[in-house]
Amino acid sequence: MSLLYLAGESELDEDFYAACAEKLTGQDFNWIRLRNRKGAGLDAVRRQMKNAVVMARAAAGGAEPVAFIAAMDNDRAPHPENEVHPPGTGLDRSRLIPEERELESRLEWMTAVVEGVLGQNRKAWPIDVALAVPVEMIESWIVRSRQVQQPQPTPHFSRADSDQARMYYHPSAPPPQWKDLADDEQRRSERTDKRDFHLEVATNLDVDALAGRSVSFQMFKVWLDGWKTVAPAET
């Protein structure tokens, strides 16, 4: 069985990404958790992620193939998905608080961290790697996986009652945001435990449909589609 190293923000998130990897690759993995704590500051997260890649690389060459997923919510940082919405429906960065207007692209610096350890020639990497940066958070994938119609207007925050959402949408009242919408989907599923709900979503995922609704999920899928060293599926 392949080893899957997970560097995510929470155990709940890691469960979902690992289940998605198993769904997309047809593999079962041995999950090894290596937490990234965003509250420690960006420099600390970079160090944590670098250490996680180093640990995964060190395991390569053993009896089991090794894969690695680094994941972080985008949280309104620059991202290609925020650039593809029709005018007036995407993220208006000028309305964000100054700290968020100045955020770096998480995809760019996460890629730089991985390449700093493994090199820029991805074909020579000894481990399979995937980066997951959902816009704006993992709940956007949850909701879009279960709703054919996209939420309108596009949410950008976790909760409608958050101070950041109220400031962004002022003077209008904020519409439901990603966690609000995900809570509604969980209630419809009749799953009382959020982990069970997330695993149900991943297990029943229509991969191509979600990739068509979410640029950030499509980018994650491209990584997984390129994995080569996972163990062959049993027949």
List pLDDT tens digits, range 188-215: 999 999 999 999 999 999 999 999 999 9
230 domain residue, yes or no: no
Residues 39-62 have a mean pLDDT of: 88
Q: What is the pLDDT of residue 235?
A: 36
235 domain residue, yes or no: no
Q: Total domain count for the chain? A: 1
The domain of 155 spans 2-225
Per residue in 122-134, pLDDT (tens digit) is: 999 999 999 999 9
Q: For 118-124, which contacts have Cβ atoms below 8 Å and span 24 or more sequence positions?
A: 118/53, 118/57
234 domain residue, yes or no: no
pTM (2 d.p.)? 0.92
132 domain residue, yes or no: yes
231 domain residue, yes or no: no
Per residue in 208-229, pLDDT (tens digit) is: 999 999 999 999 999 999 998 6
124 domain residue, yes or no: yes
User: Closest Cα partner for 230 from 82, 130, 128?
Assistant: 128
47 domain residue, yes or no: yes
233 domain residue, yes or no: no
